[in-house]
């Protein structure tokens, strides 16, 4: 077998536009890889000269998925810069909105963005509905929809899709690929639950509508939250709406505990070899979130802050995103220009000046020795880092937190795999489900905290004492953070004379999808693909499995489409 280069452009079922080029050795194993973000919008440039109090509304438009977390990071950055401490209820409501998105996003990721890398939809046509019902009752004994008649109806729906010659939402995949291992009944069960989760996910985001006025792009406010609490008003957050939120949270717990986690464990049990594939850089970072006192006290975060290097779970290193010695961005392989060439810049000093030097589209391949992406290259103390659910779970586990240790140990036992299995594509996928178990219960706890405060007479959700720019320093800088579903998210703002002088967002997919740096260190996507065996390079499902395990969001990371953008999909093998 001769060496090959496999191009997947775009990688499907993600937000944004990602191109992956994988170089195979003579045995069909990936020996090198390139991750290229192929779009740019320049939100940071758009923000310059604007009122910092409105930055969150622009930042939410960075992405149509990660909306609320960008607003959260933005208002925190401005509040940090001008010295605002929000009321406790505002922090709690922000926690509720944060956890709501995390739960919804993770369930959507598993069923609608990632499951089809493991589930063969067409194989489900061969399933016996009665046998599927028996399997479902075994896998999810507390889930009510598990009768032969129910699965017969789902099978009929799927058959009509196929008979029409249009698979619709199931069209873009490599059905029949030898890497698929689930029996037909497991595939039919997964398709049924895919459709159920699709219906459910539109319900839980009503929590954002109640607390933020709308979804997507809910409203935030520098100094707190915009929706007032008044138990006597029909036009504010009252007891009826709070009880409605409680019902949505309870339903989310049922979905996670009785549908998502059982399905995740069932699918994972058929792919044990993927606990040794896709490990990546082995360095993990989390900013942390869900404060129990204030954002200024990371020791109270439910998601702890820290760094793990070289898979060493015996030590969690401290992280300070405001330290120029810790976080810097490079552009050695990116389509940007720095005034002094390829120096490293902390985000407060960051520059977003596009400079496309790549080949004229359409092109056959990119040059790994030159610039090849619209993503910059962030590094922590010079290290390539992975961020996201796996990083958060590992930092929590290594920090000695009992809640993290409990869910991780239980999952490893059920799958009968060692702790090293976490450092893999399947480990990354499992970690997302495990943190969803934590997050959905924390969601209810945060609602209880809010109710307690209200019962004690505290209905304040905003502090506007420092709202006017006249109360701010003439020049100041601030940092805002959160943990987006895909990982550590930071916004850095420089305010001068009441206006934004500079703004930089370093998002999870910038960390994970970054190109190699000046030292040749790969980003997390690239590193995770190296060493992956491929059964059929013309149908690169193995590439999709590992890339999708990160849940890419390139719209966030590569903040204009060319006029020659007609091509919808391309897989090239040469």
Angle, helices 129-139 vs 184-204, to 10°: value is: 60
Contacts of 193 (CB under 8 A, 6+ apart): 111, 259, 263
Residue 409's CB is within 10 A of a number of other CB atoms, namely 12
Token digits of residue 453: 């405060």
Residue 107: Cβ-neighbour burial (10 angstroms; 0-12, 13-18, 19+)? buried
CB 574 within 8 A of CB 24: no
DSSP state, residue 284:
E
Q: Give the closest residue to 319 by CA, choosing from 385, 373, 371.
A: 385
Place of tokens 């138990």: 231
Q: Determine if residue 462 is left, alpha or beta; phi over 0 gives left, psi from -120 to 50 gives alpha, anything else beta.
A: beta
Q: Give the closest residue to 354 by CA, choosing from 340, 369, 338.
A: 338
End-to-end CA distance of the chain: 12
Give SS3 for 535: coil
Angle, helices 184-204 vs 239-255, to 10°: value is: 170
Alpha helices in 456-540 (DSSP H): 508-513, 524-529
CB 443 within 8 A of CB 249: yes
Pairing of strands 4-8, 18-24: antiparallel
Q: Determine if residue 416 is left, alpha or beta; phi over 0 gives left, psi from -120 to 50 gives alpha, anything else beta.
A: left
Helix (H) or strand (E) holding 30: strand 30-37
Helix (H) or strand (E) holding 6: strand 4-8
Spell out the SS3 assignment of 79-120: HHHHCCCCCHHHHHHHHHHHHHHHHHHHHHHHHHHHHHHCCC
Q: How many whole angstroms separate alpha carbon 22 and alpha carbon 3?
A: 11
Residue 310: Cβ-neighbour burial (10 angstroms; 0-12, 13-18, 19+)? exposed
Rounded to 10 degrees, the C-alpha dihedral 309/310/311/314 comes to: -60
Q: What are the catalytic residues? A: 15, 63, 66, 70, 486, 509, 553, 556
Token digits of residue 481: 């953070």
Q: Give the closest residue to 347 by CA, choosing from 321, 383, 371, 385.
A: 321
């Amino acid at each position: 077998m001769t060496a090959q280069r496999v191009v997947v452009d775009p990688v499907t079922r993600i937000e944004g536009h990602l191109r992956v080029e994988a170089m195979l050795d003579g045995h069909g194993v990936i020996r090198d890889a390139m991750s290229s973000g192929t779009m740019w919008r320049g939100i940071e440039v758009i923000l310059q000269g604007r009122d910092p109090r409105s930055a969150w509304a622009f930042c939410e438009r960075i992405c149509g998925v990660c909306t609320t977390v960008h607003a959260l990071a933005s208002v925190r950055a401005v509040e940090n810069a001008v010295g605002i401490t929000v009321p406790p209820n505002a922090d709690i409501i922000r926690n509720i909105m944060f956890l709501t998105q995390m739960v919804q996003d993770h369930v959507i990721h598993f069923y609608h963005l990632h499951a089809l890398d493991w589930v063969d939809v067409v194989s489900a046509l061969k399933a016996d509905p009665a046998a599927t019902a028996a399997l479902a009752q075994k896998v999810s004994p507390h889930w009510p929809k598990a009768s032969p008649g129910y699965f017969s109806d789902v099978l009929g729906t799927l058959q009509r899709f196929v008979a029409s010659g249009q698979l619709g939402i199931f069209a873009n995949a490599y059905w029949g690929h030898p890497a698929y291992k689930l029996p037909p009944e497991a595939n039919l069960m997964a398709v049924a639950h895919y459709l159920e989760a699709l219906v459910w996910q539109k319900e839980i985001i009503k929590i954002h509508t109640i607390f933020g006025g709308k979804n997507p792009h809910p409203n935030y406010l520098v100094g707190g939250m915009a929706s007032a609490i008044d138990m006597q008003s029909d036009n504010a957050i009252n007891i009826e709406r709070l009880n409605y939120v409680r019902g949505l949270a309870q339903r989310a717990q049922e979905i996670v505990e009785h549908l998502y986690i059982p399905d995740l464990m069932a699918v994972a049990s058929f792919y044990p070899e993927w606990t040794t594939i896709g490990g990546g850089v082995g360095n993990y970072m989390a900013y942390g979130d869900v404060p129990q006192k204030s954002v200024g006290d990371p020791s109270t975060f439910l998601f702890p802050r820290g760094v793990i290097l070289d898979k060493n779970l015996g030590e969690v290193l401290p992280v300070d995103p405001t330290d120029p010695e810790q976080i810097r961005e490079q552009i050695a392989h990116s389509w940007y220009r720095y005034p002094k060439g390829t120096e490293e810049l902390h985000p407060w000093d960051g520059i977003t000046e596009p400079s496309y030097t790549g080949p004229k589209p359409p092109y056959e391949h990119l040059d790994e020795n030159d610039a090849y992406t619209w993503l910059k290259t962030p590094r922590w103390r010079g290290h390539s880092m992975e961020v996201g659910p796996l990083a958060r779970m590992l930092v929590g586990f290594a920090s000695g937190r009992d809640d993290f240790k409990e869910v991780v140990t239980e999952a490893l036992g059920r799958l009968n795999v060692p702790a090293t299995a976490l450092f893999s594509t399947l480990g990354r996928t499992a970690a997302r489900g495990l943190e969803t178990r934590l997050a959905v219960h924390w969601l209810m706890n945060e609602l209880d905290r809010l109710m307690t405060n209200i019962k004690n007479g505290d209905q304040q959700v905003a502090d506007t004492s420092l709202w006017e720019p006249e109360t701010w320093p003439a020049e100041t800088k601030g940092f805002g953070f959160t943990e987006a579903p895909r990982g550590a998210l930071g916004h850095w703002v420089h305010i001068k004379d009441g206006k934004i002088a500079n703004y930089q967002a370093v998002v999870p997919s910038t960390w994970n999808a970054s190109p190699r740096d000046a030292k040749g260190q790969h980003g997390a996507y690239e590193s995770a693909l190296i060493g992956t065996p491929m059964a059929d390079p013309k149908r690169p499902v193995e590439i999709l499995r590992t890339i999708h395990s990160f849940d890419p969001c390139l719209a966030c990371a590569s903040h204009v489409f060319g006029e020659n953008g007609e091509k919808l999909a391309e897989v090239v093998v040469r």
